[in-house]
Structure formats: structure tokens, C-alpha cells
């Protein structure tokens, strides 16, 4: 059994927390920017928010693919850090960029062809159809340009330059929201400010990312000409499962709306509002998982196989301590919090009922999400997908049966809470995955 002294355990906590804090700042900023853009579109008026809402499912597809590429690159950068091979980082990012050129072009072509079908599927009003088609085409094209900044940020983040990566995220976010506000409110451009801002942020982010890379030992321009075949395996092993996670969550949201639909618009709106707030509540778990995965991948690169078990344990311990506090805090203020984020009396009641039932289970859900994130970023993505499907499928099945049996929407909230508690087994599965990695790596090192 691998054991740590108190001092060593605190060292692991400091390492993971030191990575997690700037990651949390960056991701919180991105979350705030998205809310800010929606608020600006609301002030623009007209059909701006309606058109942006229709585009949301398409944006999730592009986001899923982008995140898959970025995390694959981040894992490779962390392993290169541990192995002491800074030249490999730029070669890996450039190889992924080449793959993106082909895949991104194909994805954009599919979106162009599917646009007429989407207008029918989303039941777009005839008077907004042309605007929606134009917005979808231009915003999708602009979204493809963000990959450069994402690859630069993930290279820096994975190698340990987390503050550099955070600076890059802050810079691109400032460009994005600044242009949407300046053009959207200061000119007659209207909703077209969104694709203009997105494209500009992508180009500016790439330029800024290259400048930041040049200030580190990762700057090796000749390495960008090297093709690394391993990126295809990384995408298959890491990128694809992460992208599939987005799909699973999207399907789950649709299924839940179907379950709650018979209980009126307040129930649906209450769930949607809480889901948005819950994204922020669970954000620390995601960044703690990413920080733990970066630490583990760096240790894998250096061949320090026994230590990865200690890092996994330390990551879970930090997450548990954080989420005991978060769960109690959210539960203690769930009524006023629901009123604050809802703005409508009926929606606030539904949101408060949901939060009152599930808030304390965040103490379990936080470590579960952290463990799933670690698995996704250390080669256990397929197992994480299976666990996600079981978890979300269980919620849908149990809540459907419970609400039909009782005729009360409260049964849905209780079902979610019970299913969250069942997730307590996930951290143990993740620990077992890391132990297997440790054992296999140690055996390979001994054989070599």
C-alpha cells in the first residue's frame, strides 16, 4: 500500500490547488462572458436572443470537438513535461492543427448542408429564417478559428504554465465580450457582432498564444513541421470520449425536459435555471479534476508511477473537503438563491424545490465529477462514458417511473438526489483505474 506522511499529503494538496485556482479563474471568466453576451444581446433587442438560442445546439457540437482536441493536446503536453521533452509540445499542437483543418472543414460543410434541415427542425419563424441561416453560417465559421488559441492554451496549461494559459483566456475573453458590446450596442451591426467578435478573438488569441509560447522553452518553430502520428491515437483515446460526454449530457437534458414537460413551463424553466447555476457550482470539481490529471500525466511522463496514486488520492481529498462546504452553503441559501437566479415567482418555487432536494448531494457529486474528469484525461475515457450513460440513464428511468407513480414533480427531484448518492462508487472506480495505470507503468519500467 502506497502511504504518505502528513507533510507529503499537504504537498500534494498544494500542488493540485495551485493548478486549480488559475484554472477556476479562467473557466469562471468564460462562464461570465457567455452570460454577459446574452445580457448584451438582450439590450440589442429584436430577435437577437432568439436567434442565439436557436444556434445553441450547433455551438455545443463545435464546442465538443474543440474541447476534445484541446484536452488531447493538454494531456500530451503534460506527459512531455514529465519526460523533459519541450520540443514535442509544439510538434503535437501543430499536428493536431493539421487534423483540425481537415475535420473542421468537413464539419463546416456538413453544417452548411444541414442548415435548411435545421430551420425546419427548430421550427424557425419564416421572418427570422434568413437571419438564422446567415448567423449559423458565419458564427460556425468563426467558431472554427478558436482552435489556435485553444491549442496554445492547452499546451501551456499541460506543461505547467497555467498562469500563462489563464492570461491567454483572459485576453481572448476581453476581446470577445468587448467587441460584442462595442459593435452590438455602439453600431447598427446588431447580432452580426457575435461572429465578428468570435473570429477576431480567435485570430487575436492565436497571436497572443504564440507570443506567450515564445517566452517559454516550448518555442521550437522547426518542431511545428514534424508530423506526430500519435495525435490520432490520442484523439481516439481521449478526445472522442470527451466529445461523446457532451452528447450524453445533451441527450439527458432533452430527456429531462420531456419528463418535466407535463408539469408545466415553471417546472421546465426551474430545471433549466438550476442547471445553469449548477454549472458554476460544479465548476471547481471539473478544474480540480483537470489539475489532478495534469499532475498525474506529468508524473507519467517522468516515470514516477507510484506517485500518481498519491496524486489521485490527494485530488479526491481536496475535492471532498471543498464540496462538503459548498453543499452545506448552497443548501442553506437555496430559497433566496432560487429567487435570485429565477426572476419569476413560479420558476423560483420549482428551482428552490430542486435545490432543496439535491444541494446536499453536491458533497458526493463534486468528487464524482472530479473523478470522471481524471479518468477522461488519463486514458479512461471509455469507462467514464459508460459511467455517465449509466448515471444519466438511471436518473431518467427512475424519475420517469417515480413521477408517473406519484403524479408529483417532487418525485423527480428526489430521484436525482438518490441517483447522485449512488454515484459515490465512481471515485473508487477512478482510484482503481489509476492503480492499474501505476502497476502497468511500473511493470514496463522494470522490464525496460
Same domain as 343, residue 219: no
Least confident of 82-86, 113-117, 216-220, 299-303: 113-117
| Any domain includes 93 | yes
Taking residues 72-90, what's their average pLDDT?
93
Residues 74, 93: Cα–Cα separation, whole Å? 9
- 247 within a domain of the structure (yes/no): no
**Residue 344 neighbours by CB under 8 Å, 6+ apart:** 266, 269
- Beta-carbon contacts of 291 under 8 Å, excluding residues fewer than 6 positions away, are 16, 17, 19, 20, 23, 315
| Closest among 48, 36, 78, 47 to 378, alpha carbons compared | 78
- Within 13 Å, how many C-alpha atoms sit on residue 260's CB side? 25
Residue 70 has pLDDT above 60, yes or no: yes
Q: Tell me what percent of the residues of the chain surpass a pLDDT of 70.
A: 95
What is the domain range of residue 110?
15-228
Residue 411 and residue 402 in contact, taking contact as beta carbons nearer than 8 Å: yes
Residue 248 lies in a domain: no
The answer as to whether 244 is a domain residue is: no
Question: What is the spatial distance between Cα 214 and Cα 208, in angstroms, rounded to a whole number?
Answer: 10
What is the spatial distance between Cα 151 and Cα 219, in angstroms, rounded to a whole number? 14
Q: What is the pLDDT of residue 121?
A: 65
Please indicate, yes or no, whether residues 352 and 217 belong to a single structural domain of this protein. no
Pair 281, 143 in one domain:
no
Last residue of a domain, one of 165, 197, 228: 228
- Lowest-pLDDT range of 88-92, 206-210, 349-353, 368-372: 349-353
What is d(CA 33, CA 150) in angstroms, rounded to the nearest whole number?
Answer: 16
Question: What average pLDDT does range 399-403 have in this prediction?
Answer: 89
How far is residue 94's CA from residue 287's CA, in Å, rounded to a whole number? 25
Q: Does any domain span residue 275?
A: yes
Dihedral sign computed on CA atoms, order 135, 141, 144, 148: negative
pLDDT at 33: 82
Give the tens place of pLDDT for each residue, 174-229. 999 999 999 888 887 888 898 999 999 999 999 999 999 999 999 999 999 999 98
Question: Is residue 98 predicted with pLDDT exceeding 50?
Answer: yes
Number of Cβ atoms within 10 Å of the Cβ of 414: 18
User: Shortest CA distance to 77 belongs to which of 306, 230, 236, 202?
Assistant: 230
DSSP alpha helix (H) spans, 282-380: 283-302, 305-332, 334-342, 345-358, 362-376
Higher-pLDDT residue of 332 and 63 is 332
Average pLDDT over residues 239-247: 84
CA–CA distance, 229 with 427 (Å, rounded to integer): 33
Measured CA to CA, the distance from residue 218 to residue 90 in angstroms comes to 7
- Cβ neighbours of residue 164 under 8 Å, at least 6 residues apart? 156, 212, 215, 216
Mean pLDDT over residues 58-70, rounded? 85
Q: Is residue 338 domain-resident?
A: yes
* pLDDT score of 345: 77
pLDDT band at 45 (very low <50, low <70, confident <90, very high): low
pTM equals 0.83
Contact of 144 with 108, CB cutoff 8 Å: yes
Query: Is the residue at 233 inside a domain?
Result: no
Residues 282 and 355 in one domain: yes
CA distance 434 to 440: 10
Q: Which residue has the cell 432536494?
A: 357
Which of 228, 251, 282 finishes a domain?
228
* H or E segment and range at residue 16: helix 6-44
Amino acid at each position: 500500500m502506497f502511504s504518505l506522511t502528513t507533510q507529503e499529503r499537504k504537498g500534494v494538496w498544494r500542488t493540485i490547488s495551485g493548478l486549480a485556482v488559475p484554472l477556476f479563474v479562467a473557466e469562471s471568466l468564460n462562464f461570465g462572458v457567455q452570460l454577459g453576451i446574452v445580457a448584451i444581446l438582450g439590450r440589442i433587442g429584436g430577435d437577437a436572443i432568439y436567434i442565439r438560442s436557436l444556434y445553441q445546439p450547433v455551438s455545443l457540437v463545435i464546442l465538443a470537438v474543440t474541447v476534445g482536441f484541446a484536452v488531447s493536446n493538454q494531456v500530451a503536453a503534460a506527459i512531455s513535461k514529465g519526460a523533459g521533452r519541450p520540443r514535442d509540445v509544439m510538434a503535437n499542437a501543430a499536428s493536431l492543427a493539421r487534423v483540425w483543418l481537415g475535420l473542421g472543414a468537413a464539419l463546416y460543410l456538413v453544417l452548411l448542408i444541414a442548415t435548411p434541415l435545421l430551420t425546419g427542425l427548430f421550427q424557425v419563424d419564416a421572418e427570422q429564417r434568413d437571419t438564422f441561416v446567415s448567423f449559423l453560417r458565419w458564427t460556425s465559421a468563426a467558431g472554427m478559428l478558436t482552435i489556435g488559441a485553444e491549442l496554445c492554451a492547452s499546451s501551456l496549461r499541460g506543461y505547467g504554465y497555467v498562469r500563462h494559459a489563464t492570461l491567454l483566456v483572459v485576453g481572448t475573453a476581453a476581446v470577445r465580450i468587448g467587441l460584442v458590446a462595442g459593435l452590438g450596442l455602439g453600431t447598427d451591426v446588431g447580432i452580426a457582432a457575435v461572429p465578428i467578435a468570435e473570429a477576431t478573438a480567435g485570430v487575436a488569441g492565436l497571436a497572443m498564444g504564440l507570443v506567450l509560447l515564445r517566452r517559454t522553452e516550448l518555442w521550437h518553430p522547426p518542431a511545428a513541421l514534424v508530423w506526430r502520428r500519435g495525435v490520432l491515437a490520442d484523439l481516439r483515446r481521449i478526445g472522442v470520449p470527451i466529445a461523446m460526454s457532451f452528447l450524453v449530457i445533451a441527450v439527458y437534458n432533452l430527456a429531462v425536459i420531456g419528463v418535466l414537460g407535463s408539469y408545466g413551463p415553471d417546472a421546465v424553466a426551474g430545471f433549466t435555471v438550476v442547471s445553469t447555476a449548477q454549472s458554476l457550482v460544479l465548476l471547481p470539481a471539473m478544474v480540480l479534476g483537470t489539475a489532478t490529471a495534469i499532475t498525474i500525466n506529468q508524473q507519467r511522463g517522468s516515470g514516477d508511477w507510484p506517485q500518481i496514486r498519491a496524486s489521485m488520492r490527494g485530488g479526491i481529498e481536496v475535492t471532498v473537503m471543498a464540496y462538503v462546504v459548498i453543499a452545506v452553503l448552497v443548501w442553506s441559501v437555496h430559497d433566496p438563491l432560487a429567487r435570485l437566479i429565477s426572476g419569476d415567482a413560479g420558476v423560483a418555487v420549482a428551482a428552490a424545490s430542486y435545490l432543496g432536494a439535491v444541494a446536499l448531494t453536491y458533497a458526493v457529486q463534486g468528487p464524482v465529477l472530479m473523478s470522471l474528469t481524471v479518468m477522461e484525461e488519463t486514458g479512461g475515457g471509455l469507462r467514464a462514458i459508460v459511467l455517465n450513460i449509466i448515471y444519466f440513464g438511471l436518473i431518467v428511468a427512475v424519475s420517469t417511473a417515480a413521477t408517473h407513480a406519484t403524479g408529483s414533480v417532487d418525485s423527480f427531484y428526489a430521484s436525482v438526489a438518490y441517483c447522485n448518492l449512488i454515484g459515490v462508487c465512481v471515485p473508487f472506480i477512478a482510484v482503481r483505474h489509476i492503480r492499474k495505470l501505476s502497476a502497468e507503468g511500473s511493470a514496463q519500467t522494470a522490464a525496460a
